[in-house]
Amino acid sequence: MPADKIVYIMVDCNYFIIGLKHLFMDNGITFKFINNIQDVNFSNEQTSYLLLVLNTVNVESLKKFKNAIDFIIGINTQLKTGILVSEFNSYLTSYFFKKLRGKVTFFNSHNLTNGVFKKNFLSWLKGRTFRPMRVVYRYRDESYGYSLKEWISLVVPLSGETVKEISDCLNLNERSIYQIRTKALKKMKLKTYRQFCLMFIDGKIRIENHKIKHESICYY
């Protein structure tokens, strides 16, 4: 691996930063860790590398992620984009794959300790990704029977993505998106989308082992 290979990584977890530095300490890669996409200084002369770490735990992280995606779509430079996801948010891979028109490689965070992620990452930098993570096109929650579109209609707007943007990405009209979301809310006996937002932010609704969990129904 060339010593001048620079990879920007947008992440806000110090433990991850320490772990990644240790994992690639002998591979001649320069990591530049950033909190916001505006901190990146892309090169106009050579390909730039960017790894986004998807964090759906809080709204602020989701908004930063959306801003990064919008920024990537709007620039005109040679850029290779990777997104690190977990089993808790891998359902969003299909949405961002469509947003970026397929110009993205996904990595599974659960492979960080078994050697697979390192091999995937190094091969990605060389232009031939080894066993890339598959995009999730089919998803159905076992607890409430949520479809992929239903869960996307609930979670993606928390990032600041508008219904218009979602409808454009999914190739559906806006009315259909609202209908899908209303149907999803009814499955959990929630009356408003605001209820879902507050419960999701408080961690009372989440995905664990590909199943939607929620602790209690609260009416605000």
| Domain limits, the chain | 5-125, 148-214
pLDDT truncated to tens, each residue of the chain (220 aa)?
445 689 999 998 999 999 999 999 888 899 999 999 999 988 778 899 999 999 988 899 999 999 999 999 999 889 999 999 998 899 999 999 999 999 999 999 989 988 899 999 999 999 887 777 899 988 877 777 889 999 999 999 999 999 999 999 999 999 999 999 999 999 889 999 999 999 988 888 877 666 677 775 544 3
pTM of the model: 0.90
Contact 211, 142 (CB under 8 A): yes
Based on the number of CB atoms within 10 Å of its own CB, is 18 exposed (0-12), middle (13-18) or buried (19 or more)?
Answer: exposed
Topology of domain 5-125 in CATH is Rossmann fold (3.40.50)
Residue 128 CB neighbours (<10 A): 8
Contact 1, 122 (CB under 8 A): yes
Q: Which CATH number fits domain 148-214: 1.10.3470, 1.10.10, 1.10.287, 1.20.58?
A: 1.10.10
Residues 6+ positions from 185 with CB-CB distance below 8 Å: 154, 191, 192, 193, 195, 196
Give the whole-angstrom CA distance, residue 84 versus residue 89. Answer: 10
* pLDDT (0 to 100) of residue 142: 73
